[in-house]
Structure formats: C-alpha cells, structure tokens
Amino acid sequence: MLDTTAINQRMTRFDGHEAVWLFGYGSLIYKTDFPFLERRPAQLRGWERRFWQGSHDHRGTPDAPGRVATLVPREHALCAGMAYRITPATFAPLDHREKNGYLRLATTLTLDDGREVEGVVYIATADNAAFLGPASDQAIARQIAAARGPSGPNRDYLLQLAHALRELGADDPHVFALERALRELPLHAPA
Ligand code: SIN
C-alpha cells in the first residue's frame, strides 16, 4: 500500500523550531488524537477542499476504498480549517496517520486573529496513487455510504466534517452538497 511516511520524514525544515502551526482541513479538524499547544480557527488561501482522495487505510480498504478530503489549488479560494501549534516531534504520529498519499507542504496560513503565520499542511496531490479525482456528488455519496475501514464508516468522516465546518461558521458548498446527497440515499443502498 502507498506510504508517504519516509518522504515526509525527509522534510526537516521545521526540525529546530520550538513549535510549528499545522493547518487541518479534514479529519484533523475534528479528530485530535495528537498533542498540541494551542488551536485556533484558520484559513488557507489558494486551495479548496475536495473529496477526491481515496482512503484505503482509514475509511475504506484496499478493495473498497473510501473517499476523504484533500486540497486542490484554485486562485483566490479560501479554505476554512483549524490550526494547531504543535512541536516538531508530533510530525511522527501525523506522518503515520496521513501516510496514504499526503505530503507535508510548507505554507502560510491566516489565523482567526488576523496573524499570518508559516505552517504545514498535509496535501494529497493529483499524482499520488490513491488519488481518485472528481465524480458527481451522487457517485461520491454512494461510494462514501458503502465504505468503511479501521477508523470507522466513511459516512461518519463526511458527517463529522460537515458538522465541524458548521461549528466554524464555514461555508463549503462541496462538503454540504455531499452531505445532502448522502442523506438522500436510501439506507443500505448498494454501492
Ligand atoms: C487534514 O485533515 O488536514 C488532512 C486530511 C485528513 O486527515 O482528513
């Protein structure tokens, strides 16, 4: 299975730093199973959230992958998420968690108090082996409804993310359209 851990561990840019900001836009918004010093809502400019990444390890299996969020570039887009101040030691468990195609990218994020800070975001780009790319909202919702993996049903990932985005006051037409499409599916619909 795809494993980006070794590549990410070669990213030593923040090694000497006392703390680093991490931008979370998917499960990292609502599933905080890692230590952090501080957390604040934040935004990332030039990227938008899409359920275009396959999940073979968390919300699906190698035979029946789920779909999870990644970011795709778009000029002037603003992606809402949560920023965490972490120590560089926390990259080890995060690299493991995000190993199915996500690479650490250094970037600038805007915190909710207006500060622009240097930070890191995990992005699964279109050239990774687990990338699935676009599909209709209905097709994505059907795939999500049918998938489950070691971290639980794929549907919970989508519903928890939509809930967390609402709590942040974020408007995300893509995520909310998928949530609607999922809720409109008959229960136990075939994939
Ligand atoms: C993130 O949440 O920032 C990365 C994608 C994920 O783990 O869902």
What is the full per-residue pLDDT of the chain (191 aa) written as tens digits? Answer: 789 998 888 887 887 889 999 999 999 999 999 999 999 999 999 999 999 999 999 999 999 999 999 999 999 999 999 999 999 999 999 999 999 999 999 999 999 999 999 999 999 999 999 999 999 999 999 999 999 999 999 999 999 999 999 999 999 999 999 999 999 998 755 55
Is residue 190 in some structural domain?
Answer: no
Separation of CA 150 from chain center: 17
Is residue 106 in some structural domain?
Answer: yes
Which structure tokens are listed for 152?
């639980």
Rounded to the nearest angstrom, the distance between the alpha carbon of 115 and the centre of ligand 1 is: 22
pLDDT of residue 187: 72
| Full residue range of the structural domain in which residue 124 is found | 5-185
Among 94, 122, 109, 118, which Cα is nearest to 17's? 118
Q: Which of 68, 100, 144, 158 to mutate to test the pocket of ligand 1 (most atoms within 8 A of CB)?
A: 68
User: In this structure, what are the phi and psi dihedrals at residue 55, rounded to the nearest 5 degrees?
Assistant: -120, 110
Atom of ligand 1 nearest to the CA of 81: 3
- Whether 116 is a known active-site residue: answer no
Is residue 73 in some structural domain?
Answer: yes
Q: How far apart are CA 4 and CA 124, in angstroms?
A: 10
pLDDT of residue 158: 98
pLDDT of residue 25: 98
pLDDT of residue 178: 98
pLDDT of residue 8: 86
Is residue 191 in some structural domain?
Answer: no
Atom of ligand 1 nearest to the CA of 27: 8
Q: How far apart are CA 150 and CA 156, in angstroms?
A: 12
Number of domains in the chain: 1
pLDDT of residue 62: 94
pLDDT of residue 54: 97
How many CA atoms lie less than 13 Å away from 173 in the CB half-sphere?
Answer: 2
Which structure tokens are listed for 87?
């120590």
pLDDT of residue 1: 77
Q: How far apart are CA 52 and CA 178, in angstroms?
A: 12
CATH no. for residue 151? Answer: 3.10.490.10
Separation of CA 73 from chain center: 14
Q: Which of 21, 28, 156 to mutate to test the pocket of ligand 1 (most atoms within 8 A of CB)?
A: 28
Is residue 66 in some structural domain?
Answer: yes
Is residue 130 in some structural domain?
Answer: yes
pLDDT of residue 2: 86
The three-state secondary structure class of 112 is coil
Which structure tokens are listed for 99?
């190993």
Rounded to the nearest angstrom, the distance between the alpha carbon of 165 and the centre of ligand 1 is: 13
Tokens 């390890």 -> residue: 57
The three-state secondary structure class of 139 is helix
